[in-house]
């Protein structure tokens, strides 16, 4: 029996892996089966193309390539140069950026590269100059103390975690919170929207070195022109982390004031969320910061991942095609259809809706915590994640919110009708779930009660919803 190229490629790869460690081959096959069966509404996930996935599974993985294109610390990097230059070129063209640095291994790395580039650009620090010239492992304790002394009190203003900001924007559990003196801006308690006057006020009071915009759980557009004006008014460097919505920028859904690239001094992103590439990060900037950004390795990063840069080049080439713009606008149409469907059924949504790829349900209206809701939905075949809502009384662990996003289901081809059906399934589960009690009879934030028959019926309907939209239809593993 003959197979198409994708099936042949993945089947052959599995056969080769199976000969060495069959349990890994089985886990890879099982992962595809699980992903095919689940209604994936995780806002930060997607399904990369077979070409993107295959670009990662090869001998580029074996290569060390510290340095930049044409200036490596290792010999024999000519082919790595080719893919890194291609990925950077596609990124520059796609986003209209003067410079692209495609080495960061992840979003957190991209942010660290950006922070150090800004520090090096803005702060006179002999210790930093020394650190940039040496490998991290070669720095002594005294060097680190000097760095801390000279850089330790720099300020960052970013969006608060409970308003939808990200850990890497200066919060304690992340290294950024230890590097910077951080303060955050939230959202208006009545509307849930960013209040730009309040951001300006906070900036005037705090006078940050860096103003950060960007989010993981804010369901609206951000006006980057206004944010840049605020940054300029206090002499801050304006950084945008577009990890979540890079696909909407690439697909020209976010343009003008809502496109961060022309407004920010520096833009960071992941490549694996709405952009639909391999797991990784990227930094875009103008010529002023380019040299400092290119010092990301070895300042923050070890050797780049050439196989992932190859996959970034493939995915970015895909994102430059006209059909990606159509995909990006369908992501938002779907999120709005999902939001409308939930609102019509009585759900309460943070900001009352969405104009990007994500929706944040305040599940306290159903008498549940985010944790209870997340588990009940999972029992019913619907994969989401719990998330804090602004001023969340249940904190970041239990939360009062469920974050849902449409990039993945849109890749599968689901549209507005299926979003409405999805809203019905989500509402049914949340409506039929009640908060449980602990062994002592006290109210629990984790335990919940959901009739297994309801979970089973919703699970079956969720599976039926997916049947006409097979995931990776071009791949049959046998």
340 catalytic residue (yes or no)? no
**Of 37, 64, 92, 257, catalytic:** 64
* Contact pick of 108, 211, 300, 475 for ligand PLP (by CB under 6 A): 108
- 227 is an interface residue for ligand PLP by CB under 6 A: no
Q: Is the dihedral of CA 203, 156, 220, 422 positive or negative?
A: negative
- Which residues on adjacent β-strands are paired with residue 185? 159
Within 13 Å, how many C-alpha atoms sit on residue 465's CB side?
26
Where does this chain touch ligand PLP (CB under 6 A) — which range of 53-61, 85-93, 105-113, 253-261?
105-113
270 catalytic residue (yes or no)? yes
Judged by beta carbon, residue 281 or residue 381, the one nearer ligand PLP is: 281
Query: Alpha-carbon distance 187 to 17, whole Å?
Result: 50
Query: Alpha-carbon distance 70 to 135, whole Å?
Result: 20
Query: Alpha-carbon distance 209 to 142, whole Å?
Result: 25
Where does this chain touch ligand PLP (CB under 6 A) — which range of 65-73, 78-86, 102-110, 401-409?
102-110
89 catalytic residue (yes or no)? no
- 244 is an interface residue for ligand PLP by CB under 6 A: yes
Judged by beta carbon, residue 260 or residue 459, the one nearer ligand PLP is: 260
Where does this chain touch ligand PLP (CB under 6 A) — which range of 143-151, 173-181, 238-246, 393-401?
238-246
Query: Alpha-carbon distance 282 to 113, whole Å?
Result: 9
Number of residues that bind ligand PLP (CB under 6 A): 13
Whether the CB-CB separation of 448 and 372 falls below 8 Å is answered with: yes
Q: Could you tell me the strand order of the sheet in which 401-405 lies?
A: 358-362, 401-405, 385-387
**Of 37, 66, 81, 431, catalytic:** 66
Judged by beta carbon, residue 240 or residue 253, the one nearer ligand PLP is: 240
- Which tokens sit at 95? 């986003």
Judged by beta carbon, residue 104 or residue 341, the one nearer ligand PLP is: 104
Distant-in-sequence, close-in-space partners of 393: CB < 8 Å, separation ≥ 6: 364, 400
Instruction: Give the CB-nearest residue to ligand PLP.
Output: 107
241 catalytic residue (yes or no)? yes
232 catalytic residue (yes or no)? no
**Of 187, 270, 271, 384, catalytic:** 270
Question: What minimum distance in Å lies between the beta carbon of 213 and ligand PLP?
Answer: 10
Query: Alpha-carbon distance 292 to 146, whole Å?
Result: 20
**Of 18, 63, 279, 345, catalytic:** 279
- 243 is an interface residue for ligand PLP by CB under 6 A: yes
64 catalytic residue (yes or no)? yes
Query: Alpha-carbon distance 406 to 385, whole Å?
Result: 13
Whether the CB-CB separation of 90 and 335 falls below 8 Å is answered with: no
Judged by beta carbon, residue 243 or residue 249, the one nearer ligand PLP is: 243
Instruction: Report 141-180 residues binding ligand PLP (CB under 6 A).
Output: 166, 168
| Count of positions (residues) in the chain | 478
- Which tokens sit at 374? 């997340």
Footprint of ligand PLP (CB under 6 A): 44, 106-108, 166, 168, 214, 216, 241, 243-244, 270, 281
């Amino acid at each position: 029996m003959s197979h198409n190229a994708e099936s042949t490629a993945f089947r052959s790869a599995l056969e080769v892996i199976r000969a060495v460690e069959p349990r890994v081959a089985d886990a890879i096959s099982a992962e595809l089966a699980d992903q095919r069966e689940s209604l994936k509404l995780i806002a930060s996930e997607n399904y990369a193309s077979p070409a993107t996935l295959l670009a990662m599974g090869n001998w580029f993985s074996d290569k060390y390539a510290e340095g930049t294109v044409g200036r490596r610390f290792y010999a024999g990097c000519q082919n790595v140069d080719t893919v890194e230059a291609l990925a950077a070129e596609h990124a520059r063209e796609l986003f209209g950026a003067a410079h692209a640095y495609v080495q960061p291994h992840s979003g957190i790395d991209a942010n660290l590269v950006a922070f150090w580039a800004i520090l090096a650009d803005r702060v006179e620090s002999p210790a930093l100059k020394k650190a940039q010239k040496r490998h991290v492992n070669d720095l002594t304790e005294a060097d680190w103390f000097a760095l801390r002394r000279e850089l330790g009190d720099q300020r960052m203003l970013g969006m608060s975690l409970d308003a939808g900001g990200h850990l890497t924007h200066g919060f304690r559990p992340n290294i950024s919170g230890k590097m910077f003196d951080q303060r955050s801006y939230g959202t208006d308690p009545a509307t849930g929207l960013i209040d730009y006057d309040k951001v300006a006020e906070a900036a005037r009071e705090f006078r940050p070195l860096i103003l950060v915009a960007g989010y993981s759980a804010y369901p609206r557009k951000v006006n980057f022109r206004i944010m840049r004006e605020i940054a300029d008014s206090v002499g801050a460097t304006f950084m945008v982390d577009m990890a979540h919505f890079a696909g909407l920028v690439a697909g020209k859904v976010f343009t003008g004031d809502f496109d961060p690239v022309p407004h920010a001094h520096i833009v960071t992103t992941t490549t694996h969320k709405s952009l639909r590439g391999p797991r990784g990060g990227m930094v875009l900037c103008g010529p002023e910061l380019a040299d400092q950004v290119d010092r990301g390795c070895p300042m923050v990063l070890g050797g780049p991942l050439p196989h992932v840069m190859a996959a970034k080049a493939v995915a970015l080439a895909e994102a430059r095609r006209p059909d990606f713009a159509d995909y990006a606008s369908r992501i938002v149409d779907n999120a709005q259809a999902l939001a409308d469907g939930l609102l019509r059924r009585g759900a309460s949504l943070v900001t009352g809706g969405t104009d990007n790829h994500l929706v944040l349900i305040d599940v306290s209206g159903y008498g549940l915590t985010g944790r209870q809701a997340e588990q009940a939905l999972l029992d019913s075949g619907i994969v989401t994640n719990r998330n804090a809502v602004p001023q969340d009384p249940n904190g970041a662990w239990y939360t009062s919110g469920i974050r849902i996003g449409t990039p993945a289901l849109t890749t599968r081809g689901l549209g507005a009708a299926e979003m409405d059906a999805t809203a019905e399934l989500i509402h049914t589960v949340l409506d039929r779930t009640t908060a449980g009690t602990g062994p002592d009879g006290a109210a629990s934030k984790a335990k919940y009660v959901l009739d297994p028959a309801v979970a089973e019926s919703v699970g079956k309907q969720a599976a039926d919803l997916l049947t006409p939209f097979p995931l990776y239809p071009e791949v049959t593993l046998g």
